[in-house]
Structure 1
């Protein structure tokens, strides 16, 4: 794969992780959570999205070579 495809894929994964973190934080705040709790939920969602992307990449890496 070219470097451009890798960079674009990383950018898309980060964008999706950030958007889901913002959504989780917003939903937590709308549910009445305090700011620290909302940030914690957003950070947990961001970490889960990045972890999921890493797991999928590790699982598919033998097929990409």
Structure 2
């Protein structure tokens, strides 16, 4: 017997934020790796990784906010 799983809006929002943070961390790691692969210094790589993390997280939060606004 399978019970239906009901997600509360708060739990769904928390899961969406956790997924966006994970996605932002992956993008940041890739940005750091690409800068290092191109021969950049470690401070430059960390700086660009931070910018990539912040930009990706901002865009993810904007998309989540738009989706929440549409569904209400």
Q: TM-score, normalised by structure 2?
A: 0.79
Could you tell me how far apart the structure 2 residues matched to 1:30 and 1:12 are? 27
Q: Counting helix residues as a fraction of each chain, which structure ranks higher?
A: 1
Which structure 2 segments of 5+ residues have no match?
1-6
17, 29, 32: which one aligns with 1:25: 32
For the residue of structure 2 that corresponds to 1:32, the secondary structure is coil
47, 56, 65: which one aligns with 1:58: 65
Higher Rg of the two aligned structures? 2
Which structure 1 segments of 5+ residues have no match?
none
Shift of 1:61: 3.3
The residue that corresponds to 1:39 in the other structure is: 46
The residue that corresponds to 2:14 in the other structure is: 7
**What RMSD over aligned residues (CA atoms) do the two structures have, in Å?**
1.4
Change (3 A) 1:8 1:61: closer
